[in-house]
Amino acid sequence: MREDASDDEAISRTLEGDRSAFETLVRRHAPAVFRVAGRHVPADEVENVAQEVFLEAFRSLGSFRKESPFEHWIVRIAVRACYRYWRGRYRAKEIPISALSAEHQRWIEGALAAESAREFTTAADRKAAVEVLRQAMNRLKPEERTVLTLVAIEERSIAEAAKLLGLTSVNVKVRLFRSRRRLREVFERIVAGERK
Amino acid sequence: MKPEEFEKLLCAAARESTAPEPSERWVENVMRAAVHSSAGETGTRMQLGGWASCSVALACVVLFAGSYLNQDTRWEEDELLPPEEYEEISLL
């Protein structure tokens, strides 16, 4: 299969049984799937989730109607796979909800007390921020963290998030509002816990 | 700083963190799993080719997708994705 073959051609060839055509699709679209998974699931789970995405695409390829680009289709599958990942962990109660270290608690309090975010730009601040957000997100429900990740971290529009999740824009706005409120409650609890 | 500014600070940091990239080993694993995941259907189809094997494969994929929908992606009340959306990305 030529590497420059179009997605449509690669899909048709895959459905005809050409293994190399599917490999072309995998190689071409894996970076986009890894980017999505990298934002939604822990780094050590990205490969597993991405593999699940391509296997689902492989099984469902016959249903792809070519009404939108293949990449849009596979990104939708990726977002849903990430959601399912968290839903599975949530149900199995496998999401670690450990207390933040005293260092991170101090960092949160310092940040909230600071005049602006401009004071927190060092690599150490970024590392602390990522860890704090990870811990806080672990306290959210799967749908809350998925919506929040799509809109607040990936910076997708409400309409785009709605399309990816199969929800109306109003539903996404409502879930986003609830997610943000819940996240703030989590931070308030963390800070209040430190003061006790 | 205000809570919304704090949230932006955290999200910006998360955005900047780098995700892993697909490796050659990962691509090989996916291809191996793709063949194995449909052994007897797509695996056979890939070897035989042609319309007859394609029909058999499609029937198997439909059956597989049906069981998949019934198990892992079943819609449950108050969850994110309605069944029609799964249908859109699956075979049924």
Question: For B37-87, what is each residue's pLDDT tens digit?
Answer: 764 454 434 444 555 556 666 776 766 666 555 544 444 444 555 544 444
- Burial class of residue A67 in the structure, from the number of CB atoms within 10 Å of its CB (0-12 exposed, 13-18 middle, 19+ buried): exposed
Show residues of chain A in contact with B72, CB under 8 Å.
84
- B51 or A27, greater pLDDT: A27
The answer to whether A57 and B90 are in contact (CB under 8 A) is no
CB–CB of B31 and A23 under 8 A?
Answer: yes
Q: Does A77 touch chain B (CB under 8 A)?
A: yes
Q: What is the pTM of this model?
A: 0.76
Answer whether residue A97 shows pLDDT above 50.
yes
Answer whether residue A192 shows pLDDT above 80.
no
Rounded to an integer, the average pLDDT of A104-120 is 80
pLDDT value of position A187:
81
Answer whether residue B90 shows pLDDT above 70.
no
Least confident range of A42-51, A62-71, A117-126, B78-87? B78-87
List, in order, residues 6 or more apart from A75 with CB less than 8 Å away: A32, A33, A36, A164
The answer to whether A176 and B38 are in contact (CB under 8 A) is no
Show residues of chain B in contact with A31, CB under 8 Å.
21-22
Rounded to an integer, the average pLDDT of A118-125 is 79
Q: Which of A46, A58, A167 to mutate to test the interface with B (most CBs of B within 10 A)?
A: A58
pLDDT value of position A75:
95
Rounded to an integer, the average pLDDT of A92-97 is 72
Torsion of CA A85, A86, A92, A93, to 10 degrees: 150
The answer to whether A36 and A78 are in contact (CB under 8 A) is yes
Confidence of residue A109 (pLDDT cuts 50, 70, 90): confident
Chain B nearest-CA residue for A132: B10
pLDDT value of position A149:
94
On average, the pLDDT of chain A sits at 88
Answer whether residue A185 shows pLDDT above 90.
no
Cβ-Cβ pairs closer than 8 A, A with B, add up to 165
Name the percent of chain A lying above pLDDT 90.
50
- Burial class of residue A4 in the structure, from the number of CB atoms within 10 Å of its CB (0-12 exposed, 13-18 middle, 19+ buried): exposed
ipTM above 0.90, yes or no: no
